[in-house]
Amino acid sequence: MNIQIKADEMTATERDMANALRFLSMDAVQKANSGHPGMPMGMADVAAVLFNRFIKIDPSSPDWPDRDRFVLSAGHGSMLQYAIHHLLGYADMDIEAIRNFRQLGSATAGHPEYGHALGIETTTGPLGQGIATAVGMAIAEEMLAARFGDLVDHHTYVIAGDGCLQEGISHEAIDLAGHLGLGKLIVLWDDNSISIDGATSLSTSMDQKARFTAAGWHVQAVDGHDPEAIGAAIDSARKSKKPSLIACKTVIGFGAPNKQGTHNVHGAPLGADEIAAARKHLGWAHEPFVVPASIRAAWANVAERGRQAHLNWRVRKAASGVATEFDTAIDRSLPASLASALSDFRTEHFDKKTKVATRKASQMALDVINRVVGNTVGGSADLTGSNLTQTATTASIRPGDFSGRYIHYGIREHLMAAAMNGLALHGGFIPYGGTFLVFSDYARGGIRLSALMKQCVIYVLTHDSIGLGEDGPTHQPVEHLAMLRATPNLNVFRPADIIETAECWELALQDEERPSVLALSRQDLPMLREASSRENLSARGAYLLHAPEGERDITLIATGSEVEIVREAARKLEDAGIRAVVVSMPSWEKFEAQDPTYRHAVLGGAPRIAVEAAGRLGWDRYIGETGSFIGMPGFGASGPAAQLYAHFGITAQHVADEARRLLGRK
């Protein structure tokens, strides 16, 4: 009972601050009858020290650009963050929100979700994403600091669990972070030796400290329940020029006397008896959801320190002489000159009838974009010369020099996706990055989070079909367009020529609420547009690329490199007196957003054939029950591209034959 009196009437200790997190977590999980108490209880002391002594955030202004970024990579421990936010006074995190943990509509979702509650810097839960996203945030900090000096000076703190460190993406993340020397990235590892199946010794013998050292990190190990040791370690980490790992040896479920230190506290409520025992064990006599005033005051001090820091920063910014430039950089809105620059680009290449691969067209468009838009950040997962993602104005960043705007992500597609999320979330940059379309497989976990978090992240996915040729089926995407189109809130663009490529780039950049994929060809494609237009026709998703006079007999629909093929088929059919409309359909999502009248006008009432060098899944929506699909029946093969198209029957002749068959005109 002594401890309770102390907590009520005296200045709260960091242990008291931590215990408040523990009981809010225990009680919320118990009330929800769902959730993960073990991590919040184990890491409460670390969190209390981190926030009490170091973290620079202003809960009344959660988006202040120079705040520290706090990433709960072990997202299942969401109650830790919600409890902290409650005690710091975030507007949406009153005690009712805590009491409604994991209930529909509550800010306290099962895992921390960006945009769903204030101050959540990134969505976590899928393990390893947080630490990798944090790498992107830390890169953004360095890059902004290279541009604006001491107006930008904040840390990225990550709490990561054993799961985060086992996931492969963690390797990609720590390798690049160590290479770039991201000294303001500090990872606090909840080293509790427990995972869901039991002891981590069931599945790993990794010496994590040696592993991080090998990656070029500054590594320390502390007792995660010793506030002074934790504080000293964070202090030392902040001084290091290298990214830091602090291995915090903790007891999972610390404070639950009968269950702590076992996997039984990981992902299920403790039960009323064990919570009562924890109250006794930790000397916490308060009712559920009650936190004594002295502890609330201690947490309020943290918020007040942040408010002051924010105020000081605003004064410094006002005096900096670059306030306008800074705001422009943070504001991701596009310069007005972009539209006309891209329109000029389209006019020029319409006139020249430029025939290039759409990956090359993309680079040409990017060259214009990167000159006009100052805050794009390019990159590639070690396929720069294939994805054609670097342009004249995008020098590469490198250790110690973050003035550039191009990132060699290495052979790390998953990290690239997550780091781009971090760059976008941090603010100040519009990231795009390249790999082969087929290797979107490796990046899936990050792409999904781009979509879920509504971030403008642009994936430049080249070599988008059997048209890549000899590399064979391991490199030839077949199911990937469907996989991406099935992903909610993701634009999938597959432009047919240089004009559409520029249009799709513009649409991708304009969409502040959605990531985009640009699926681009390896092989050259002719300019197909029949009339020059200031209007961005790709914005409609699909449009009549070619429409002969009179009633149409058949509609040929295609995307990307197959539009050329159906255009040629239409020519053959017209020679035979059959009027074929050609629909280019660079984006299903944009087309679905059109009104039914437009959609019907495009698709028409005549029989339809869709042609795409990919699987059929999804195309039935556009061809209807009587139409045909010509594409890939299965995996591809290794051989020259033209032979592969012939082999799989994706040819103008086959399309024309199929049209005649459908029309009964053999």
Contact region with its own copies (CB under 8 A), list: 144-152, 472-480, 531-539, 650-658: 472-480
User: Is 621 an interacting residue with respect to its own copies (CB under 8 A)?
Assistant: yes
Q: Going by DSSP bridges, is the β-strand pair 356-357/524-525 parallel, antiparallel, or unpaired?
A: antiparallel
User: Is 624 an interacting residue with respect to its own copies (CB under 8 A)?
Assistant: yes
User: Is 596 an interacting residue with respect to its own copies (CB under 8 A)?
Assistant: no
User: Nearest approach, Cβ of 424 to its own copies (angstroms)?
Assistant: 18
User: Is 628 an interacting residue with respect to its own copies (CB under 8 A)?
Assistant: no
User: Is 409 an interacting residue with respect to its own copies (CB under 8 A)?
Assistant: yes
530 is catalytic: no
User: Is 550 an interacting residue with respect to its own copies (CB under 8 A)?
Assistant: no
Contact region with its own copies (CB under 8 A), list: 199-207, 281-289, 316-324, 334-342: 199-207
* Percent of the chain that is helix, strand, coil (3-state, to 5): 50, 15, 40
Distance CA 284, CA 543 (A): 67
Contact region with its own copies (CB under 8 A), list: 41-49, 83-91, 396-404, 532-540: 396-404
Q: Enumerate the β-bridge partners of residue 452.
A: none
Out of 281, 307, 355, 485, the only residue in the binding site for its own copies (CB under 8 A) is 485
Contact region with its own copies (CB under 8 A), list: 329-337, 367-375, 593-601, 628-636: 628-636
CB contact at 8 A, 606 and 554: yes
Total residues contacting its own copies (rule CB under 8 A)? Answer: 108
Question: Which amino acid is located at 126 in the chain?
Answer: P
Q: How many CB atoms lie within 10 A of CB 429?
A: 25
User: Is 71 an interacting residue with respect to its own copies (CB under 8 A)?
Assistant: no
Among 513, 454, 525, 443, residue whose Cα is nearest residue 484: 443
Within residues 265-324, the interface with its own copies by CB under 8 A covers none
Out of 123, 156, 260, 561, the only residue in the binding site for its own copies (CB under 8 A) is 123
CA 411 to the chain's CA centroid: 18
177 or 233: whose CB is closer to its own copies? 177
Out of 239, 241, 353, 647, the only residue in the binding site for its own copies (CB under 8 A) is 647
Residues 6+ apart with CB under 8 A from 331: none
Residues 6+ apart with CB under 8 A from 61: 307, 310
Contact region with its own copies (CB under 8 A), list: 304-312, 318-326, 467-475, 522-530: 467-475
User: Is 640 an interacting residue with respect to its own copies (CB under 8 A)?
Assistant: yes
User: Nearest approach, Cβ of 517 to its own copies (angstroms)?
Assistant: 13
User: Nearest approach, Cβ of 12 to its own copies (angstroms)?
Assistant: 31
Out of 60, 301, 384, 594, the only residue in the binding site for its own copies (CB under 8 A) is 384
Out of 2, 319, 324, 385, the only residue in the binding site for its own copies (CB under 8 A) is 385
19 or 123: whose CB is closer to its own copies? 123
CB contact at 8 A, 613 and 561: yes
User: Is 643 an interacting residue with respect to its own copies (CB under 8 A)?
Assistant: yes
Out of 63, 150, 470, 551, the only residue in the binding site for its own copies (CB under 8 A) is 470
Among 479, 344, 467, 480, residue whose Cα is nearest residue 413: 480
Q: Going by DSSP bridges, is the β-strand pair 198-199/194-195 parallel, antiparallel, or unpaired?
A: antiparallel
User: Is 395 an interacting residue with respect to its own copies (CB under 8 A)?
Assistant: no
Rg over CA atoms, the chain: 28
Helices (H) and strands (E) in the chain, counts: 26, 20
396 or 628: whose CB is closer to its own copies? 396
User: Is 430 an interacting residue with respect to its own copies (CB under 8 A)?
Assistant: no
User: Is 594 an interacting residue with respect to its own copies (CB under 8 A)?
Assistant: no
Q: What separation in angstroms does the CA of 498 have from each of 332, 350, 551?
A: 26, 8, 30
Distance CA 443, CA 435 (A): 9
Sheet strand arrangement including 543-546 = 543-546, 580-584, 554-558, 608-611, 628-630
Reading the block at residue 647, the tokens are 């082999």
User: Is 170 an interacting residue with respect to its own copies (CB under 8 A)?
Assistant: yes
User: Is 412 an interacting residue with respect to its own copies (CB under 8 A)?
Assistant: yes
User: Is 360 an interacting residue with respect to its own copies (CB under 8 A)?
Assistant: no
User: Is 488 an interacting residue with respect to its own copies (CB under 8 A)?
Assistant: yes
User: Is 213 an interacting residue with respect to its own copies (CB under 8 A)?
Assistant: yes
SS3 call for 460 = strand
Distance CA 270, CA 38 (A): 9
Within residues 176-195, the interface with its own copies by CB under 8 A covers 176, 178-179, 195
Residues 6+ apart with CB under 8 A from 356: 364, 498, 524, 525
Within residues 73-92, the interface with its own copies by CB under 8 A covers 75
CB contact at 8 A, 88 and 299: yes
Q: Going by DSSP bridges, is the β-strand pair 156-160/430-436 parallel, antiparallel, or unpaired?
A: unpaired
Distance CA 417, CA 458 (A): 9
Q: What separation in angstroms does the CA of 177 have from each of 97, 202, 295, 446, 658?
A: 36, 29, 36, 17, 54
149 or 634: whose CB is closer to its own copies? 634
Out of 89, 427, 618, 649, the only residue in the binding site for its own copies (CB under 8 A) is 618
Question: Which amino acid is located at 44 in the chain?
Answer: A
* 13 backbone dihedrals φ, ψ, rounded to 5°: -85, 170
User: Nearest approach, Cβ of 181 to its own copies (angstroms)?
Assistant: 9
User: Nearest approach, Cβ of 446 to its own copies (angstroms)?
Assistant: 9
Distance CA 360, CA 388 (A): 6
User: Nearest approach, Cβ of 562 to its own copies (angstroms)?
Assistant: 17
Out of 557, 630, 644, 655, the only residue in the binding site for its own copies (CB under 8 A) is 644
Within residues 34-53, the interface with its own copies by CB under 8 A covers 34-35
User: Is 163 an interacting residue with respect to its own copies (CB under 8 A)?
Assistant: yes
User: Nearest approach, Cβ of 216 to its own copies (angstroms)?
Assistant: 5
Q: Based on the number of CB atoms within 10 Å of its own CB, is 287 exposed (0-12), middle (13-18) or buried (19 or more)?
A: exposed
User: Is 203 an interacting residue with respect to its own copies (CB under 8 A)?
Assistant: yes
Reading the block at residue 561, the tokens are 């490199």
5 or 486: whose CB is closer to its own copies? 486
User: Is 124 an interacting residue with respect to its own copies (CB under 8 A)?
Assistant: yes
Among 113, 167, 413, 589, the active-site one is: 413
Out of 231, 269, 445, 607, the only residue in the binding site for its own copies (CB under 8 A) is 445
User: Is 110 an interacting residue with respect to its own copies (CB under 8 A)?
Assistant: yes
Catalytic center residues: 413
